[in-house]
Amino acid sequence: MQVDLKGKVALVTGGARDIGRATSLQLAKNGAAVVVNFNASGDRARAVCDEIRAAGGRAVAVKADVTRIEDIRRLVQEASAAFGRIDILVNNAGGLIARKALGEMDMAFWDEVMHLNLRSVAFVTQAALPHMTDGGAIVNLSSLAARDGGGPGSTAYAAAKGAVLTLTRGLSKELAPRKIRVNCVSPGMIDTTFHDTFTKPEARKATAARTTIGREGTSDDVAKAIVFLASDASSYINGESIEINGGLYYV
């Protein structure tokens, strides 16, 4: 897919690997300058920026832990200082952390999952808004888990991602006076380190076989949908989620 993002500035949280990396590269391919946020993946973030620059694009890598408000504020300030403003915000950072049934959790674990997957979306958005142009676009990352409750031991993650869907709808109304559209993508089984870490190979194969497409998704499958939602090609879409699951689940 080719859309025109020339002159736009995008901030991608968790932009160094998997879906974040693919999104950063696709945004740059379509003309946007990209701020690649990372926390622990510094080498990967710098490699993404090098790849973007080698292709003639503009990119900077900024380290920040998006569960910490001080880091969030600095991230947004550095993004704005680098390119002058923010037109596109992709709230991609998130993760399962661990598979735990409710009976195995303590409050610290619950809070850790919520802070990474939900609170970060709200407060990165809050910090970015004063630097965002009217008519901009925000794309949040939810999950198929938000729809079906997730696999074993992912109840907290599923709950957080379900809340991201609701937050997306609420913000689409709240930011309507500024014509900032807020949408979401909800990936299913995507070939990422998330599933390399937390999902057994046999479970992945079984899930892929249940899709109508007959395979796992790729990070590019998700990134291209994100770029669509970030662009004027989706100018009449607001408060929605694109389900990217190969036909595994219908809304």
Number of H helices, E strands in the chain: 10, 7
250 is catalytic: no
Nearest alpha-carbon partner for 28 in 61, 56, 62: 56
74 by Cβ neighbours in 10 Å (0-12 / 13-18 / 19+) ranks as middle
End-to-end CA distance of the chain: give it in Å, rounded. Answer: 24
Choose, from 157, 236, 249, 250, the residue flagged as catalytic: 157
Determine the Cα–Cα distance for residues 162 and 149; give it in Å rounded to an integer: 9
The DSSP annotation for 200-229 comes to: -HHHHHHHHHHSSS-S-B-HHHHHHHHHHH
CA 59 to chain centre: 18
Determine the Cα–Cα distance for residues 137 and 135; give it in Å rounded to an integer: 7
Determine the Cα–Cα distance for residues 185 and 146; give it in Å rounded to an integer: 11
Determine the Cα–Cα distance for residues 240 and 198; give it in Å rounded to an integer: 28
Give CA separation, 147 vs 153, 159, 161, 187, 201, in Å: 15, 10, 9, 11, 23
- Annotated catalytic residues are 157
